[in-house]
Amino acid sequence: MTGPNPATTTTARICPNCDGFATAAISSGGRDARGHLHTLTVDCSACHGTGTLPLRPRLAVTAWEVAAR
């Protein structure tokens, strides 16, 4: 990659609940006197409307347990 900013090695994980489509417009089925459709904007409850989840923390080498026989 060329440019002033180096490429990052970490990428954000896409939310498995909404597949990255974090906000949805849901029709309530009714229309007002002017003919406008009533819609509700709802965010994903897992990612709170961001579409991504934070990366999982890496395990430190000291956190591993080794059993000897």
pLDDT of residue 37: 92
Q: Would you say 38 and 31 are in contact if contact means Cβ atoms under 8 Å apart?
A: yes
Q: What is the rounded distance in angstroms from the CA atom of residue 8 to the CA atom of residue 22?
A: 23
- pLDDT of 63 strictly over 90: no
Could you list the beta-strand ranges (E) of the chain: 13-14, 23-31, 37-43, 52-53
**Mean pLDDT across 34-45:** 92
pLDDT digits (tens, 9 = 90+) for 11-38: 668 998 899 899 999 998 888 899 999 9
User: In this structure, what token pair is assigned to residue 43?
Assistant: 């965010």
pLDDT of residue 42: 93
